[in-house]
Amino acid sequence: MNNIGIYIHIPFCEQKCNYCDFYSICDKSEFDRYTEKLISVIKQSKYTDRVVDTIYFGGGTPSVLGEKRLVAILNTIKQSFEITKDAEITLEVNPCSAEYIDFSVLKSCGFNRLSIGLQSSNEKELKTLGRRHSAKDAQDTVKRARCAGFDNISLDLMLCIPHQTKNSLTESIKFCKDCGVEHISAYILKIEENTPFYKIKNELNLFNDDEQAQFYLHAVEQLDKFGYHQYEISNFSKPQYEGKHNLKYWHDEEYLGFGPSAHSFIDSKRYYYNRSLDDFYNDLIIEDGKGGEIAEYIMLRLRLKEGLKLTNLKDKYNYTVKKSLLTMVNKLCDNQLVTFKNDTIALTTKGFLVSNSIINYIIESL
């Protein structure tokens, strides 16, 4: 059996940001109860015979739990599953709550990668997003983590923030480079329902599609200039520092998710927990059908810069390439939206901008 990944959802934040649609609540009184429940559910997993090589604590803001609870959760995973010696173990961190975290305790327990929510180094843009930290707070967090021995750090950036300029975006990218981080995730702002931004979307100075495209292409160019190669639509890294856990999703590999809103894909089945703390406490799990089917595999692989190798479709699904698919791919090549070399379809940077449409075209041509 192949190694699996584990995702731990920590559904707590000090406050909700204006753009955020991830499941989280602001209730410190639940910290201990939730930690105890999470530990219990992990111990009772029926998959403890599987070997784990990536663990990811996401949220919410996992760092608000404090290092003692986080260490207790990670130790439970280590006691319940066999963990590979070179396992990637990531913790998402907010620069504000990180101020109270002892990174040396986390490092000694086994955490070896941090993902820090920066979003922007511009103070006005941070205020617009509803972030409570400053750029200096993020910089200080990186420094403290380095002192504790962390040598694999990622920073999150957001593109197309209202009133953002190409110059301010460039400064934010340069800020990440100057911090010396190994990985950068760069996402275009999306206005989601049930967020403060959604309620005032008509009042925001939002970017149109053409402007978003320009900013995205500019970001890719600047990140490449500073040595961060693109390996996925929104992810960039120094060589050998790609995020191993997220690659599991895009390679359509197996993983277990624990916590409200967490998803799992194992034994060719998908299931998830509702976006509800009460439902998690009551062990309510929602089955989500089969996973690993050909359309899903194509969609996930085409998110990656390395693309989709057609021979893998034959080996994995006994699929014979049709003329209609090759015709579609050649048209996309003519429009510089994909490349087709060595039997591999890969989206170009321009193609990533309309990835959903391209992926649908390819799947319809199967």
Residue 296: which of 274, 322, 263 has the closest Cα? 263
| pLDDT, position 74 | 98
pTM of the model: 0.95
Domain 304-366: assigned CATH number: 1.10.10
In the prediction, which pLDDT does 249 show?
95
The residues, any chain, with a CB within 8 Å of residue 85's CB and separated by 6 or more, are none
What are the pLDDT digits (tens) for 135-161? 999 999 999 999 999 999 999 999 999
d(CA 108, CA 86): 14
Give buried/exposed letters for 347-357 (b at 16+ CB in 10 A, else e). Answer: bbbebbbeeee
CA distance 283 to 224: 45
The residue among 362, 308, 307, 352 whose CA lies nearest residue 331 is: 362
Give Cα separations from 261 to 8, 9, 94, 117, 243 (angstroms): 10, 7, 20, 20, 21
Give strand pairing partners of 272: 263, 286
pLDDT in the model for residue 97:
83
Where along the chain do its domains lie? 4-249, 304-366
Cβ atoms of 4 and 249 within 8 Å: the answer is: no
Q: What is the 3-state secondary structure (H, E, C) of 33-63?
A: HHHHHHHHHHHCCCCCCCEEEEEEEEECCHH
pLDDT score for 96: 87
Six token digits for residue 300: 């996930």
Burial of residue 237 (CB within 10 Å: 0-12, 13-18, 19+) is buried
CATH 3.20.20.70 fits 4-249, yes or no: yes
Q: Which residues of 33-61 are buried (b: 16+ CB within 10 A; e: fewer)?
A: ebbebbbebbeebebeebebbbbbbbbbb
Q: Which of 160, 115, 159, 158 is nearest to 138 (CA)?
A: 115
218 contacts: CB under 8 Å, gap ≥ 6 = 166, 169, 170
**Regions of the chain short of the pLDDT cut 50:** none
State the greatest distance between any 2 C-alpha atoms of the chain, in Å, as a whole number.
Answer: 60
- Exposed e or buried b per residue across 21-31, where buried means at least 16 C-beta atoms within 10 angstroms of its C-beta: bbbbeeeeeee
Gap between the Cα atoms of 319 and 316, Å rounded: 8
Q: For the chain, report the end-to-end CA distance as a whole number of angstroms.
A: 29
* Residue 323: burial class (beta carbons within 10 Å; 0-12, 13-18, 19+): exposed
The SS3 call for residue 168 is: helix
H or E, element range at 290: strand 285-290
Which pLDDT score, from 0 to 100, does residue 292 have? Answer: 85
The pLDDT of residue 218 = 97
